[in-house]
Amino acid sequence: MRTGIEPREQRGLEIAARAKIVRKGNVWSVPSQSGKGRHTVRVQADLFRCTCPDNETHGGKCKHIFAVEFEQQRAHKPAQPAVANDQPSRSTRKTYRQDWRAYNLAQTTEKERFAELLHDLCGGIVETSPQTMGRPRLPIQDAIFAACFKVYSTVSCRRFMTDLRGAHEKGLISRVPHFNTIFNYLENPDLTPILHAMITETSLPLKAVECDFAADSSGFTTSRFIRWFDHKYGAPRQQHEWVKVHLMCGVRTNIVTAVEIRDKDASDTKLLPALVDTTAKNFRLVEVSADKGYGSIKNYKAIQRHGATPYIAFKSIHTGRAEGLWKKMFHYFHFRREEFLSHYHKRSNVESTFSMIKAKFRDHVRSKTDVAMTNEVLCKIICHNICCLIQESHELGIGTEFWGNAPQPNS
């Protein structure tokens, strides 16, 4: 972990955070970190002197002087400059340059390019158990292509058939299925691991670009309702059920690298290690950002295990008593808040990722069963990843090749 804090400064942070430092004029009484006695730090002009052996022997700043400096910073924050009543304050908003030429080209050619990339992606999946009897079934490549392309279109399955016939004329699928066949395939639980593998595969072309990641969860509304009787108000209540999606994305291109879908009440914090481990299989992790809902020692260890630095906000109930990385980041968060937040605010990119998916492919699912709803959301994420690849192919010039041109089994 690189936070720019030397050992004496780090120990000074810990003393300032946990111990009571008493001031009398220009003299500060600082407790020993071992808990035995106190040391006196004298301040004259900008010079600091401490009675501890470290300062008297080696000179320079000891941990007690650092503790006094941090206590001064905390007690005397610089005042904001006064603003006249007739001059309203203006905050400088950070802006980012948009390559409009690349963006316009990506958007105007996206639909055609999307179908081609989806065809290449589905072409890498092969049937593991060939059919020996019965009515000929739809090839797995055509079924997944139809399901993902249907989700991309955002229209009902019946109205989508025109696009599917156009894809057949271009040779992107071997035959046009009935619209009910698409529904049936979405309800197949065997499709779920294939879709997860496709999400991973669509993220790999950007592995040389992404090294900082962010995690969060969000819900997609369903057509089902939860109904109950509210005894407090004596009236029936109802609300939509939803599919809760936990994902990790790169903060530069918004590519999704890992997805976990559990029940709607699943805890966020318990699923972060799985997202981190899945991402670390294919990407080099440098930073991982997440909100305070993911704050736990277990999550810190899961991120540290892959050589990355966690930037997870701390709750008011958290303390710096735990040893190791948790303790260092706790003091870093409290005493170098601005520097910490400059890394932590990369987390806003995962909010942007959810916003992109919901705005483009809708924030609800049409499916009715649990398996179909899960598969439909996974199809949305595949569509999002392919759109990210199209954008980056124009903006960064990144080529796209799936499965290393080698067909992959659907298991």
Q: Phi, psi at residue 225, to the nearest 5°?
A: -120, 150
Query: Which neighbouring-strand residues pair with 235?
Result: 230
Q: For residues 411 and 126, what is the distance between their CA atoms, to the nearest angstrom?
A: 10
Both 276 and 383 in a single domain?
no
Both 49 and 167 in a single domain?
no
Both 240 and 141 in a single domain?
no
Both 342 and 378 in a single domain?
no
Both 32 and 118 in a single domain?
no
Both 319 and 236 in a single domain?
yes
Q: pTM for this one?
A: 0.77
- The candidate with the shortest Cα–Cα distance to 123, out of 133, 115, 132, is 115
Is residue 233 assigned to a domain? yes
Is residue 103 assigned to a domain? no
Is residue 316 assigned to a domain? yes
Side-chain-side CA neighbours of residue 77 (13 Å): 6
Tell me which residue range forms the domain holding 69: 7-75
Q: Domain count for the chain, please give it.
A: 3
Is residue 80 assigned to a domain? no
- The CATH number of whichever domain residue 239 belongs to comes to 3.30.420
Both 266 and 332 in a single domain?
yes
Would you give per-residue pLDDT tens digits along the chain (411 residues)?
Answer: 444 567 788 777 777 766 778 888 888 888 887 767 888 888 877 788 888 888 877 777 888 888 888 777 766 655 444 444 445 555 566 676 778 888 899 999 999 999 999 999 999 888 767 666 667 788 899 999 999 999 999 999 999 999 999 999 999 999 999 999 999 999 999 999 999 999 999 999 999 999 999 999 999 999 887 777 778 788 888 777 889 999 999 999 999 999 999 888 888 999 999 999 999 999 999 999 999 999 999 999 999 999 999 999 998 888 877 888 888 898 888 888 889 999 999 999 999 999 999 999 999 999 999 999 999 999 999 999 999 999 999 988 888 889 875 444 444
Is residue 278 assigned to a domain? yes
Both 225 and 332 in a single domain?
yes
DSSP class of 189? T
H/E stretch holding 248 reads: strand 235-250
385 touches 199 (CB < 8 A): yes
Sign of the torsion formed by the C-alpha atoms of 158, 159, 163 and 169: positive
